[in-house]
Homo-oligomer: A and B are copies of this chain.
Amino acid sequence: MPLQDHMKLISTDDHVVEHPRVWLDRLPAGLRERGPRLVEVTEDMVRSGLSVPSKGGSPVPVGAEVWLLDGEVHPTIATNAIAGRPREEYGFEPFRLDQVRPGCYDPIARVADMDLDGVQAQLCFPSFPRFAGTLFIDMKDKELALACVQAYNDFMIDEWCAAAPDRYIPLVILPLWDIAASKLELDRTIGKGAKAVAFPEGLTPLGLPSIYTGQWDPVFAVAEAASVPLCMHFGTSGSVPVASAESPPPVWISLMGCNSMSTCSDLLFSPVFHKFPGLKVALSEGGIGWIPWLLERMDYVWDHHRMWTDIDKTTPPSVMFRDHIYGCFIDDLVGLELRHQIGVSQITWEGDYPHSDSTWPEGRKRAAEVLADIPDDEVHQMVELNARRLFDFTADLTVPAPV
């Protein structure tokens, strides 16, 4: 059956573009001057070789806007925020906020864009701080770095989500360089309404202690106790799977799901879910079509290799998966065909607004097409109910779902 009108689309992976006052409005007076501020690129800055720090990234032109933070220039303001552009004009720009739709940085304009797309609610990741807030890890001034994290979280909860509580699921970031502070910030933000926390898909490439060290257990314990899932967006480890130095962007764009596979395998063979049986993880933007292959492969490896390696001997990885891990799809026909091998309960839908993978403004239309042959109750689980359960998102719904 087609997607029914009463089913609300809840997207589990979208992105905000931070507006110029996110930090100016919130940092304490003593830190505000050195906190993130949006500045225009000058001739001198271009001469120093400014470019977008992505593979294939474009040079940043004079007149572009960049973030200035504690004397350092960060050229990523809205990477790939191209919603609504014709495909001929995709790229790593835009370089100025006036080149993106207001829905990128204005929560009310975003609601209007959701309405155009037939979407009820979104879970939004940050842009400038990177999807798991890892930008702040390398800052020398840790007091300023912590204040930047807290200001972002306050913006997300008090301004962005508060603008339309029935349309947004609040996701926060952590001061990842300090695990004790991360626990405190997670406590603090859960206290004011956070329903999800961004966590890097891999810690070793970031120079942080891995999930095997046990050092993150206090953070995991808080997340488990509050039923707040860890959202591990692909790319947040800073690693990109590329085969050649000269590979064009489509190579790594296609392969980013491999990062989610690494995360999935690493989590399922680790002690994390044995220690925290209530902990949930979302593999944000990871896709789902690879999951049946990986679960079969992991079970095969578990069967062949558990006797001589230091892994759990009692529970096959595929069983652990269905108790802990959630995937999401944009329009993944293979994954939907194999949904019973993944577990219908483990699948959510995502819109990825305003990035180039997004189907906006045809999100609901495209979802209806790829879900056309799936029974209603399974569709409802995947587009709405699984996300509501996972994120404890029970906001009163007054807006009828557009078709």
Partner among B243, B250, B263, B308 whose Cβ is within 8 Å of the Cβ of A90 = B308
Flag A64-93 by CB within 8 Å of B: 1 or 0 each: 000000000000000000000001111100
Whether A293 contacts B289 in the complex (CB less than 8 A), given A244-B203, A266-B247, A338-B334, comes out as: yes
Q: Is A306 an interface residue (CB 8 A)?
A: yes
What would 11 A/B residue contacts be, using CB atoms closer than 8 Å? A87-B304, A89-B308, A210-B246, A248-B310, A254-B265, A287-B297, A289-B296, A293-B293, A305-B356, A334-B341, A337-B338
Partner among B266, B293, B308 whose Cβ is within 8 Å of the Cβ of A251 = B266
Contacts of A329-355 to chain B: CB distance below 8 A: 331-335, 337-338, 341
A-B complex: 3 closest residue pairs judged by Cβ atoms: A289-B293, A243-B266, A210-B244
Contacts of A199-234 to chain B: CB distance below 8 A: 201-204, 210-213
Q: Smallest Cβ distance from A281 to chain B, in angstroms?
A: 12
Binding site for B on A (CB under 8 A): 56, 87-91, 201-204, 210-213, 237, 241-251, 253-255, 257-258, 261-263, 265-266, 269-270, 287, 289-290, 292-294, 296-298, 300-302, 304-311, 317, 331-335, 337-338, 341, 356-357
Q: Which of A241, A243, A250 has the most CB of B within 10 A?
A: A243
Q: In the complex, what distance in Å separates the CA atom of A353 from the CA atom of B241?
A: 29
Q: In the complex, what distance in Å separates the CA atom of A270 from the CA atom of B251?
A: 9
Q: Is the CB of A90 within 8 A of B305?
A: yes
Q: In the complex, what distance in Å separates the CA atom of A266 from the CA atom of B250?
A: 9
CB-defined contacts of A249 to chain B, threshold 8 Å: 305, 309
Q: Which of A201, A211, A250, A258 has the most CB of B within 10 A?
A: A250
Of chain B, the residue at the smallest CB distance from A201 is: B243
CB-defined contacts of A311 to chain B, threshold 8 Å: 248, 250
Q: Smallest Cβ distance from A247 to chain B, in angstroms?
A: 5
Partner among B204, B244, B297, B302 whose Cβ is within 8 Å of the Cβ of A244 = B204
Q: Is the CB of B247 within 8 A of A212?
A: yes
Whether A296 contacts B332 in the complex (CB less than 8 A), given A212-B246, A304-B90, A305-B356, comes out as: yes
Partner among B245, B251, B261, B338 whose Cβ is within 8 Å of the Cβ of A269 = B251
Q: In the complex, what distance in Å separates the CA atom of A46 from the CA atom of B261?
A: 37
Q: In the complex, what distance in Å separates the CA atom of A213 from the CA atom of B245?
A: 10
